[in-house]
Structures are given as structure tokens and as C-alpha cells.
Amino acid sequence: MSDERTLDLLEAKIEELRQLNSADGIDLSKEIARLEEKLDHLRQKLYANLSDWERVKLARHPKRPYALDYLQSAFEGFYELRGDRVVGDDRALLAGLARLGGRTVVVLAQQKGRTTEENKERYFGMPRPQGFRKARRAIQLADRFGFPLVSLIDTPGAYPGLEAEEHNVGATIAESLLAMAEARVPTLAVVIGEGGSGGALAIGLADCVLMLENAIFSVITPEGAASILWKDKDKAKEAASALQMTADRLLALGLIDGIIPEPLGGAHRDAAKTSAALQSELVRRLAELEVIPAEDRRRRRDARYRAIGRFRPAPMRDPEAPAAPEGAVRD
């Protein structure tokens, strides 16, 4: 994103002028105001009409706030619970107790790394079976004590690897889904960046599903779809549009409950503001959910998922039409 560079340079310039302004007593406020106006214009121009592919890039932006950033700003006192009690602790999928608006919640969160070193430890935010088993444990803990559950989703997907398959990653995703379907406590999921396929959904079966404005949620990465369906890796942009993975599209399709706005240019342009918006929306939604009796809430969640799918009656059969040859051997 070279336009981002221009924005960065302008911001740096403004900051520089501000410091000069206060240090030397020279009045640069007019110059600063002029540059700020220019910056605003540029932002508007760049971000008012983002393409789907640009949103994919924003959702994956290396400066984008990650789960731990929100855990430190929108939540209080994150008390991490580690380990799956079987083979290890996944650093890509975190679990723990925290306070949200003064009350105890259980948080599940996928965490990407900032540095190469950290990404090595966190597998670029791709959870492994130990992570999904830990998630299940945390969901059950929340349910046992009546703590609401909040999931912060940000992953390219489950980690594809030999060991993950040996430890039956698919079944651990299924078990995590089942635990979420069983939970009687209020459950909230927010896609804060990338919602990549089954690895994301594993912690995303919830009473209320939200997305940050520039987050994406998809059955497959655009690159994966491009290579499977278009047989051409360069068609990722087309795939990103065809898959309808942006927050506004998914809201229009009725698959999510709401969008949390981001500052112009993306969450990373003003992390504090994004975090404040996230916090107030979580608190508001939680209050809405909590007034519903537990059994009704779960019935509503059941009905919500039961209703997902778009189909129509098949065209009626022509009774005169010849029957298909039954069960011929495939060549």
C-alpha cells in the first residue's frame, strides 16, 4: 500500500511541525492545519470506497491491532489460562479470564505475531489442535460459572501440518463448535481481522456475531479459492469479491449481527478509538443478551443457526421424463 506511505509521511511531518511549534515558540499552527486538512482529504479519497481486495489487505495489515492489543485496552486484567492438558499450549489461540465493563468474562482469542520470532511461536495466528482443545476447556469453564464468553477472531485458518492432522485437528474444531453450541452463557464473537475458515469458526458459533468494519470472514482464503476454482493464483482479487467476505456484504446477507466502525484508513490508524468502539459495543450487546433467560437465549441461538442456508423448491418433475439409468458404474 504505497498510498499508506504517503499518509505516514504526512502524519510524521505534522508531528514534526507540532513539536517545532511548541519548542521554539514559532507559530506553525496555520501550516499544521493546512497539512491536516490535506491528510483528511487524502484519507477520504483512499478509504471511502475500498475495494474488496483492499479490505482483505487491511484485515491482514501488519500494523492492525491484534487480540492482545484489545485485551489490554478494551478489557481489564487478562488472566491467561494455558494449555490443553494433553500435549501443549497453543500460542496462536489464547484463552483466559478478563473483566469487561467491570464483570468477569472468558475470552478466546487468536493472536498473530508482530515479529518473525513471535510468528514462529504463534504460527502466524494459525491454531493447532492444542489450541482448539484449550478453547473447548475454556468454553466449558465459562459455562460452569456463568461467565459470558467473548471470542476475538483473527486467523488465516487452522494450521495445516502433519502433527495437526495426527492430533486430529478437524475433530478438535468440531468439538469446539459443539461446546459453543452447548453453552448456556451469553456468547459473543467479533472478527477483528481475518476470519479464516473452520479455524476461525471454531470459536465463532455465538449468540451475537460482529465484525470490525475492515475485517473479513470467509470459507476459504481468496488465494485458496483462486487456485482451486480459477486454477490461477493471480485471481485472488476476483475470488475476494466473489466470496463476499467483507463485513458489509455479510451483514447484508444476514450472516452477522453488526459492524463496529473503524477510523478512516483502518483500525491501526487509531487503535485507541477502535478499541473504545469495540468495548462499548461488546458491553451493549452483552447487556442485551443477558436480559434473555438462558434457555430462551440458547433456543434463539439454535434457531439462528438452524435457519442459515439459501435454497428453493426444486422444479417439479415431469412424470413423462425418462428415468436415469440407475447406479451405472462410473468410468
- In the region spanning residues 221 to 240, those forming contacts with another protein, defined by CB under 8 A, are 224-225, 228-231, 235, 238-239
Among 21-29, 33-41, 102-110, 215-223, which window interacts with another protein (CB under 8 A)?
215-223
**Choice between 5 and 231, CB closer to another protein:** 231
Task: Determine the size of the site formed for another protein (CB under 8 A).
Answer: 72
Pull the grid cell for residue 258.
453488526
The interface with another protein within residues 78-97 (CB under 8 A) comprises: none
Residues with Cβ within 8 Å of 198's Cβ and at least 6 positions away in sequence, in order, are 157, 158, 170, 173
The interface with another protein within residues 173-192 (CB under 8 A) comprises: 173-175, 177-178, 181-182
Residue 252, CB half-sphere, CA atoms under 13 Å: how many? Answer: 6
Q: Looking at 110, 130, 197, 214, which residue binds another protein (CB under 8 A)?
A: 197
Closest contact distance (angstroms) between CB of 220 and another protein is 6
**Choice between 152 and 203, CB closer to another protein:** 203
Pull the grid cell for residue 115.
515479529
Residue with cell 451469553: 186
**Choice between 93 and 97, CB closer to another protein:** 93
Residues with Cβ within 8 Å of 116's Cβ and at least 6 positions away in sequence, in order, are none
Identify the DSSP state of 195: E
Q: How far apart are CA 132 and CA 173, in angstroms?
A: 6
Continuous segment of H or E residues that includes residue 207:
none
Residue 56 within binding range of another protein, rule CB under 8 A: no
Q: How far apart are CA 117 and CA 50, in angstroms?
A: 32
Spell out, one character per residue from 285 to 304, where the chain touches another protein: x when CB under 8 A holds, - when not. Answer: ----------------xx--
Residues with Cβ within 8 Å of 184's Cβ and at least 6 positions away in sequence, in order, are 143, 294, 295, 297, 298
Residue 309 within binding range of another protein, rule CB under 8 A: yes
Residue 315 within binding range of another protein, rule CB under 8 A: yes
Q: Looking at 139, 153, 203, 205, which residue binds another protein (CB under 8 A)?
A: 205
